[in-house]
Chains A and B, each alone.
Chain A
Amino acid sequence: MTSSSGSEEERSLARMTGVEKWFGKVQALKGIDFEVRPSEVVGLVGDNGAGKSTLIKVLSGYHLADKGEIYFEEKRVNITSSLDARKLGIETVYQEQALAPNMSISRNIFMGREPAKPLGFMDKKSMDRGSMEALESIGLHLRSPDALIATLSGGERQGVAIVRALHFKAKLVILDEPTIALSVKEAREVLDFIKQLKREGISVIFITHNLYHVFPSADRFVVLGLGEKIADVEKKDTSIDELAELIVKPPSHD
């Protein structure tokens, strides 16, 4: 690694400090510091209910934090809606299906951002072309942009969701359990999509329960447990076994 790229990595793309989030009497996030650097894949892991989804939903504008600050490209930002987040270049593929099953591929990819002709009518040609090109670019060959999402396999759906993030020049793509409920082959496809994102200089936050999926893809790992950050380690300083132990261990207070 050259020294110039080393100083590059010192800069953060997105940084969250002291983030707290309450749901009624449940504190889902207890003062989390979290950062992502340019072109970095961060594996965000932890047990069920650890707060992973909540943390990224704060970053993507779905939830509002009760406390804490967010910096994007070293500037303090206020993210109060998913629109704010996307304006910055943060795209999220949510754990809950983020696609509309009875709508076509191209209508899903351009949902909420339809290219329009005068009077606001959709430019269907450019939607169809744009979506097919984007799908090809991550190596996903689908028959037609008019196919309904409900007719696709799980892996293909994740591909469409990722393409939607990619197409809009995201700087940071957040994937919440993109490989859950996928066959081995489909999961491998999704992992290839993630490599493709990194090659294009896009940062990725990858949430999963499957350490075997995240370990080869990620550069760094952040472990959450019961709303606290338990560990933040570079890949070279850890192993799958160590991460697995950290995940099951309750947070220690000293």
Chain B
Amino acid sequence: MSDSKLRLVRSFFNYRFFSIFLVFVALLLFFGFFSPHYRFTSLANIKILLGPGSEFSIIALGVGLLMVSGEFDLSVGSILVFCSFMFIRLFEIGMNLFLAGFITLGLGALLGFLNGFITTKARIPSFITTLGTMMLWRGVTLLLSLGYTRPFDTEVSPLLGSILTGKIGGVIPAQAIWFGAFGLVLGLVLHLHKFGNWIYATGDNKQAARAMGINTDRVKTICFMIVGVLCAFVAVMQIVRVSTFTSRAGDGWELKAIAASVVGGTSLMGGIGSMAGVFLGALTITVIENGLVLLRIPYFWTYIIFGLVIISSVLSSLYLERKRLGRD
């Protein structure tokens, strides 16, 4: 009994996860000590990290799941902005906002389905498919919105506002709760559910998975749809928070989401990764971005630091993995 519990703990805190955990703690300490006036650990900043910061992280969770199945999604930012436009239009025609929200989620699922359908049926690498849809959906949104911002009125539905962006106990942003909840649910699916086993099998050895009767095309398409729904969810959440539609929403998130997954130990080849790792990876990316701003380091340094963090985390997890396999 205690042996199997120990195994569970060990596999949870596997080496990849452990290395990202160390990096994360080191970053927290670094920014905590070196940000001017300890602003990093101020309550206001922590609220920013957990509130708006969670928007990106929620999408990263889906991208991580998709990467375990062996595919990429470069179109997350564009799905997000297209869904934002849909939601603001439905708001403008006076639709009930909950209904509008569900329709927006449906659109996200549809856009994800299209990515999956094109990728699996036409056998196009998803890097290419989603590069195409990335341009397509942002282009369509720009065309329809003419690039103008549009106002949103939170007062129309205070309930929706408090569900998505309220503060639990006046302190904890609802976004953080959503991030945790999505992380937990997707983690349960990936690690304990049959479907999670199919995701791993599909990403690890597609031939084997197919020979065992797993419909790998369907598995991948569902993963794309999960990503699409998460993008739509965040689109609504973001509009409710900033009370504005902008056609720049989600710009640049696609690579950040992949970076978060990779930093969290997800393999670019598929088949390897954990939800806890992606969760921490997303937090890490958010913390780096936020911490550098607080240190008053010019923004372009962010890219350099991201680059270094990604490369070093991939190298260290590869090193640890090799050591483990060698020792066993």
Residues of A that sit less than 8 Å from B by CB: 60, 62, 81-83, 86, 92, 94, 96-103, 107, 110-114, 116, 119-122, 124, 128, 144, 146-147, 150-151
Contact = CB atoms under 8 A, between A and B. Distances in A.
User: In the complex, which range does the number of interface residues on chain B fall in?
Assistant: 20 to 34
Give the 9 A-B residue pairs with the shortest CB-CB distance, closest first.
Answer: A112-B212, A100-B204, A83-B213, A100-B205, A151-B328, A114-B194, A111-B212, A112-B213, A112-B214
Contacts of B195: 120
Given A94-B208, A113-B212, 20 more contacts: A60-B211, A82-B211, A94-B211, A97-B205, A98-B205, A100-B205, A101-B205, A102-B200, A102-B272, A110-B197, A111-B201, A112-B201, A112-B214, A120-B193, A121-B192, A122-B197, A124-B192, A144-B7, A146-B7, A146-B11
Nearest to B11: A146
A96 B207 contact: yes
Contacts of A86: 213
B210 interface: yes
Interface in B85-131: none
Contacts of A96: 207
A128 B207 CA distance: 24
B209 interface: yes
B198 interface: yes
A144 B8 CA distance: 12
B208 A98 contact: yes
21 contacts: A82-B211, A86-B213, A94-B207, A97-B205, A98-B205, A98-B211, A100-B200, A100-B201, A100-B208, A100-B271, A101-B271, A102-B204, A103-B200, A111-B214, A112-B201, A112-B213, A114-B194, A119-B193, A121-B193, A122-B193, A146-B7
Contacts of B325: 150-151
A82 B7 CA distance: 34
B211 A116 contact: no
Contacts of B204: 100-103
B213 A82 contact: yes
A124 B7 CA distance: 13
Interface in B1-33: 4, 7, 11
Contacts of A107: 197, 200-201
A83 B213 CA distance: 5
B220 to A, nearest CB: 15
A122 B188 CA distance: 10
B211 A62 contact: yes
B62 to A, nearest CB: 19
Contacts of A111: 197, 201, 208-209, 212, 214
A102 B271 contact: yes
What secondary structure prevails in chain B residues at the interface with A? helix
Contacts of B4: 128
Interface in B195-253: 195, 197-198, 200-201, 204-205, 207-214
Contact of B194 (A100, A103, A116): A116
Contacts of A120: 193-195
A30 to B, nearest CB: 25
What secondary structure prevails in chain A residues at the interface with B? loop
A92 B211 contact: yes
B67 to A, nearest CB: 13
Of B192, B197, B200, B201, most buried by chain A (CB within 10 Å of CB) is: B197
A83 B215 CA distance: 10
B246 to A, nearest CB: 40
A122 B328 CA distance: 27
Nearest to B200: A103
B7 A121 contact: no
Of A94, A101, A112, most buried by chain B (CB within 10 Å of CB) is: A112
B211 A99 contact: no
A96 B271 CA distance: 18
Interface string B167-195: 00000000000000000000010001111
A46 B118 CA distance: 40
Contacts of B214: 111-112
Contacts of B11: 146
A73 B276 CA distance: 49
A253 B7 CA distance: 62
Nearest to A93: B211
A82 B192 CA distance: 25
Nearest to A164: B212
B158 to A, nearest CB: 34
B212 to A, nearest CB: 4
Contacts of B208: 94, 97-100, 111
A112 B200 contact: no
Of B7, B193, B195, B208, most buried by chain A (CB within 10 Å of CB) is: B208
A208 B211 CA distance: 20
Nearest to B272: A102
